[in-house]
């Protein structure tokens, strides 16, 4: 009995070691899973995902679970407006269902988040149409993958008089704008493109040549 005791303690210690090892492996798996999930977000590389994962680990439990609940809720309740593809909780978004908006003007944007920015500027009172992306054939984003046919349907169906193309001022946004302009040629609708210009409060001296030449092209009488 006296001789057997150290052996059973050894066995117990060994068992505990194995349990700790397994526990550690499981923990690493969970954290790894969180890191992999976070790195799927745009602009989040693996290093940032690691930092975020460890930040979440040290957050108060209620705050961390609040993030998770907010994601659940968005995925359960949010959907695209059946008219303009803005994000909404209802079938039709609050902009499309408003009676005070100018239904003859449609502003075409790439993403629903663009609507928020334009709305904040309080400079547009018409309706929107979200393409859900920009043309990029190399990434498989062909016209049929965007909401271009739905835009043409709206032009055909509704009393739209002007389409303002507010896609991004980059190669994909330009290509998309040109494509839409071509597709809308058969219709009796005015197609305009938002102007490029210098940032307010900026200095001409620091503007790049493309911005400056576009700003000159988009000049207007004062």
Q: Between residues 40 and 120, which has the closer beta carbon with respect to Zn ion?
A: 120
Q: Is 84 in the site for Zn ion (CB under 5 A)?
A: yes
Q: Is 96 in the site for Zn ion (CB under 5 A)?
A: yes
For the record, the structure tokens of 23 come out as: 């526990």
Matching residue, tokens 């790049």: 208
Selected range binding Zn ion among 29-37, 79-87, 115-123, 213-221, rule: CB under 5 A: 79-87
List the one residue from 49, 93, 163, 165 that touches Zn ion (CB under 5 A): 93
Listed in sequence order, the residues at least 6 apart from 2 whose beta carbon sits closer than 8 Å to its beta carbon are none
CB 83 to Zn ion: min, Å: 4
Residue 104's Cβ-side half-sphere holds a number of Cα atoms within 13 Å equal to: 4
3-state secondary structure of 117: helix
For the record, the structure tokens of 90 come out as: 């209802």
List the one residue from 49, 81, 135, 148 that touches Zn ion (CB under 5 A): 81
Q: Is 83 in the site for Zn ion (CB under 5 A)?
A: yes
Q: How many distinct helices (H) and strands (E) make up the chain?
A: 7, 6
Q: Is 86 in the site for Zn ion (CB under 5 A)?
A: yes
Binding site residues, Zn ion, CB under 5 A:
81, 83-84, 86, 93, 96
């Amino acid at each position: 009995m006296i001789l057997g005791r150290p052996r059973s303690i050894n066995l117990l210690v060994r068992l505990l070691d194995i349990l700790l090892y397994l526990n550690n492996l499981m923990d690493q798996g969970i954290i790894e899973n969180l890191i992999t999930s976070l790195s799927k977000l745009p602009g989040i590389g693996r290093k940032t995902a690691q930092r975020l994962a460890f930040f979440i680990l040290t957050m108060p439990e209620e705050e961390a679970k609040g993030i998770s609940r907010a994601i659940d809720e968005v995925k359960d309740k949010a959907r695209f407006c059946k008219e303009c593809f803005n994000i909404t909780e209802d079938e039709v978004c609050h902009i499309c269902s408003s009676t005070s908006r100018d239904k003859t003007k449609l502003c075409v944007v790439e993403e629903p988040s663009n609507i928020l920015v334009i709305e904040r500027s309080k400079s547009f009172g018409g309706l929107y149409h979200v393409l859900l992306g920009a043309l990029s054939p190399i990434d498989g984003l062909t016209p049929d993958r965007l909401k271009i046919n739905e835009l043409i349907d709206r032009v055909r169906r509704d009393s739209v008089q002007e389409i303002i193309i507010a896609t991004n001022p980059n190669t994909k946004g330009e290509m998309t704008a040109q494509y839409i302009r071509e597709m809308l040629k058969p219709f009796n609708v005015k197609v305009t493109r938002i102007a490029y210009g210098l940032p307010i409060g900026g200095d001409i001296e620091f503007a790049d040549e493309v911005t400056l030449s576009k700003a000159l092209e988009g000049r207007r009488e004062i």
